[in-house]
Structure 1
Amino acid sequence: MQNRREFLKTTACALGAVAIGGEHSSAMSLCPEPKKHKLKEGAFMHGFVAPKLDIIRVAVIGVGSRGSGAVHRLCSVPGVKVTALCELVEAKAAAQKNWMEQNGYGSPKLFIGPEAYKELSDSGICDVVHINTPWMTHAYIAIYAMKAGLHTMVEVPGCRTVDEAWEMVETSEKMRVHCMLLANCCYDEEAMLMKNMARKKVFDELYHAEGCYLHETRCIAGRNSYLGPNEMFHSLEALVNHTGASYPLHAVGPVSLALNINRGDCFDYLVSMGSRGFAWQEFARRVYGDDAPVAKIPIEANDFNSMLISTKNGKTILIRQVNNCPMPYTRQYSLYGFNGTITANPLRIALEKNINTGVSSWMSEEELSVIRSEYGAKLWQQAGEIARSHGGHGGMDYLMDLRWTYCLRNGLPLDTTVYDLAAWSSLIELSEHSVRNRARTQDIPDFTRGLWKTNTAGEEWTFDEAYLKANITD
């Protein structure tokens, strides 16, 4: 009888894909003793401002399903010139180059192959790399690019391990370059309204938050499971080899900003547990048949994972992630404070008007309309129409691109930092350690090394009106 390692190797060959097998012992799942990571004076990146870039030369690394969308968006962003495309599969890069040429966006240079990101980073052809490759490659590509002096925009997740997170933090600090997570859900219209209300103390002191990301991914993973070695779909690899909260960032990012994590508070520790992973295998059997190799892969991932985080200031955050259940795509965020509560997507708000009577109902649509007018995100008020016209998850992708490019062109700090990328992404490995050890508590590193105590959230994200008139028009 085959053991699990042999079975995974055999199955990977049958799929024409590369899967990393291996048994997980309890001892191996425990977190190692944390290393000491000292912050050099003057190296802290919160509030960091890079020299202005009037024209931002961007190289897109990875132009598959996600990266091709990034190419199309970036080509229409003011002040951006896509100068290079980097891919494993030449046909994909050639298709995007052809699209750019046909639409008058120039002719980008192509870098093809598994090591091509190094040649690209060393070429001097760009100021920024925009990374859209499989999850397990994000960290080492970003680290190499930063060492070459490039700003890095990294798709979610920024990395998959605590060690990778620390290396990204320290490389950004040493090289004095931005490393920003492309956390598009932080630009969700209702999530930004929620953040505005929280920071203006509408709910008084907050004590609990919840983030929920429910995404039906069975068809995506199944569709890609028969691709060749260069196209092993990252979500299938995560299903096979990992458990815990494999993709918590869309849930945790918006509520972390509302709670001012790394800006007056900080993650402290977490516990995580999840249901047994059998829904995807059942799906594969029904779709592909009992004897299909893909239906026989042992699945490590939880079908439903819950993670509870405690912060240094004693607040709690509940993060829920569902991957393999038949349900509509859902992003939902909630905040609970002394004076009321809010849930985003769909928007529901309850505020206490009389402490003696409490709260018995949600706001009416008429009342919510007033709230939207008073606390709605300025970014959406200023550029929401054009963002929606360009698309990308209802416009939030395009709005995110408009904002980070605006900051680089005008010498402003970026909205989120490498410390956010590290803190949010480190939850992936830490939640897995917790799940594998009966929900044992896992300490979350303080990537700011104590400077969260003096950091501030800053002003609301917005555009200068003169910039809008000159650059962002229909």
Structure 2
Amino acid sequence: MTIKVGIVGARGLSTLQGFRSLPDTEITALCDLDGEYVQEAAREHGIPRTYRIYEDMLDSDIDAVVISTPMHLHVPQAIAALHAGKHVLCEVTAGVTMDELWWLKETVEASDKVYMFAENYCYIPQNQLINNLVKQGLLGDIYYGEGEYVHDVRRLAFQFNRAGSGERNAPTWRKYWQLGKRGNFYPTHSLGPIMKWMEGDRIRSVSCFGSGWHTDPRFRQEDTSITLCQMESGKLIKLRTDCISNRPLNASQSLQGTKGCVEGPSFLGDGHRIWLDSMGGEPEQRTWRPLSDFNDYMPERYKNATEEQRNAGHWGGDFFIVEDFVNAIKGLQKPAIDVYDACEWTAVALLSELSVMNGGRVMDMPDFRKSSSYADQIIKL
């Protein structure tokens, strides 16, 4: 049976090649409010049907929806899809309010359909390699992780004025839902891989501190926000988000364990490096090795990826996240990043905003997996 997929958000087609690289899957529909653009995108990519009204696409014969619209639409569209009997692969972040996360969790639990969170940084090959090193114990007991997402996106907060002035001065959704927020509004790229490396643990509390406003007074978002996540086990994760500062892109994770560490300066090329205590040497004599020296630990499916799969995006990551989603639909595995992961990782953003606005106050993370009453959902200052 062919799995028919519809995509809502015609400017977010990162999963397109992944679906086309799998047998028994087909992108049959594309939906976007911009009727002219959706027609153009569908023609370019050979997608047979287009929709401007999302509910009309849900009424069609598709089996699954990829949600790649602005983040404040993710929960309403995910809930509508689940109620319509469609599986959901949702881009990040999962939602924009704590209430939304509870609505999402409850809807998924009441549904017999798959919901999977499309945090593709978990699928970048180097991060999958690190995951295997962790699982096989080469780094010992992991107790600290550090993630950075540093990406000047200020130009994306404005679009060209439709009145024809030729100036990029009409605000987009990012002006409000990203750069109009304080705290770590976009944590999941940095956090997701580290949470996978600390599998089985959960975030107990969140605190956040901002640098103030120095670069661009148009935005409520501070130049840099530092967020600390204390784990249930006592382990620690530090996240930096900076989408304002004048500097090049950097998105990386670092990891410290009792037997070694990994530093990832950027995902733009193989700059990752590793040290293991099995390499020996006194502290002042220890030297790094390229992470690529350990490519034998790469998951087999990454080693055996075809050229088409590797070209799907994010060095093949965009193929493997789609493969896991399709396998979950087929009942071959559970969603690799489920609704509980989606809610917890996204809640870091929402709690960080409360924290930074209250002087870095420690905010308790609710347990989305175990909550059983509305009382469990209360966020206390």
TM-score scaled by structure 1?
Answer: 0.71
Aligned to 1:309: 229
Change (3 A) 1:362 1:63: same
2:303 aligned with 1:381: yes
- The one-letter code matched in structure 2 to 1:325 is S
Q: Distance in 2 between matches of 1:278 and 1:184?
A: 31
Q: Distance in 2 between matches of 1:239 and 1:423?
A: 18
8 Å contact 1:161–1:425 — kept in the other structure?
no
Instruction: Report how many aligned residue pairs link the two structures.
Output: 361
Counterpart contact for 2:67–2:78, Cα < 8 Å = yes
- Aligned partners of 2:157, 2:184: CA distance in 1, in Å? 17
Structure 2 equivalent of residue 431 of structure 1? 352
Partner of 2:65: 129
Structure 1 position 309, deviation (Å)? 0.4
- The corresponding residue for 1:362 is 287
Per the alignment, residue 350 of structure 1 pairs with 275
2:364 aligns with 443
% same residue: 26
1:353 to partner: Cα distance: 3.4
Paired AA for residue 121 in structure 2: C
Helix, strand or coil at the partner of 2:311: helix
> Which moves more between the two structures, 160-169 or 347-356?
347-356
Which one has a bigger Cα radius of gyration?
1
Q: Find the counterpart in structure 2 of residue 398 from structure 1.
A: 319
In structure 2, give the amino acid aligned to 1:247. Answer: Y
Separation of aligned partners in 2, 1:246 and 1:63: 23
Secondary structure at 2:129 match in 1: helix
1:306 Cα deviation from its structure 2 partner: 0.5
Alpha-carbon distance, 1:70 to partner: 3.8
Out of 34, 51, 62, which is 1:111 matched to? 51
Q: Which has the higher strand share?
A: 2
* Residue of structure 2 aligned with 1:411, choices 324, 332, 341: 332
Equivalent residue of 1:331, what SS?
strand
For structure 1, which runs of at least 5 residues remain unmatched after alignment? 1-53, 282-296, 452-474
Consecutive unaligned residues of structure 2, counting only runs of 5 or more, are 164-169, 373-381
Residue 380 of structure 1 aligns with an amino acid whose one-letter code is Y
- Quote the offset at 1:399 in angstroms: 3.1
TM-score (norm 2): 0.87
CA contact (8 A) 2:275 2:289 kept: no
Residues 130 and 436 from structure 1, CA distance in 2 versus in 1: closer, same or farther, beyond 3 angstroms? same
SS of the equivalent of 2:23 reads coil
1:276 Cα shift?
Answer: 1.8
1:338 aligns with 2:258: yes
1:177 aligns with 2:116: no
Q: How far is the alpha carbon of 1:343 from its aligned partner?
A: 1.7
* SS state at 1:308 partner: strand
Does residue 62 in structure 1 map to residue 2 in structure 2?
no
Of residues 151, 165, 186 in structure 1, which corresponds to 2:101?
165
SS at match of 1:353: helix
**2:191 paired with 1:252:** yes
What is the deviation of 1:447?
0.9
User: What is the alpha-carbon distance in structure 1 between the residues aligned to residue 184 and residue 286 of structure 2?
Assistant: 33
Q: Shift of residue 234 of structure 1?
A: 2.6
CA distance in 2, matches of 1:427, 1:258: 17
Aligned partner letter, 2:42: K
- Say if 2:300 is the partner of 1:371: no
The question of 1:120 aligning with 2:60 is answered no
Q: Structure 1 pair 163/225, CA: closer, same or farther in 2 (3 Å)?
A: farther
Give the 3 Å change call, closer, same or farther, for CA 403–326 of structure 1 in structure 2: same
C-alpha displacement of 1:356:
9.0
RMSD: 2.4
Contact 2:150/2:243 (8 A) holds in 1? yes
> How far, CA to CA, are the matches of 2:21 and 2:156 in structure 1?
28
Which amino acid is 1:446 matched to?
A: D
Give deviations 1:214-254, integer Å, cap 9, x for gaps: 112123224x26469xx952322235531100111100000
Alignment of 1:241 with 2:164, yes or no, is no
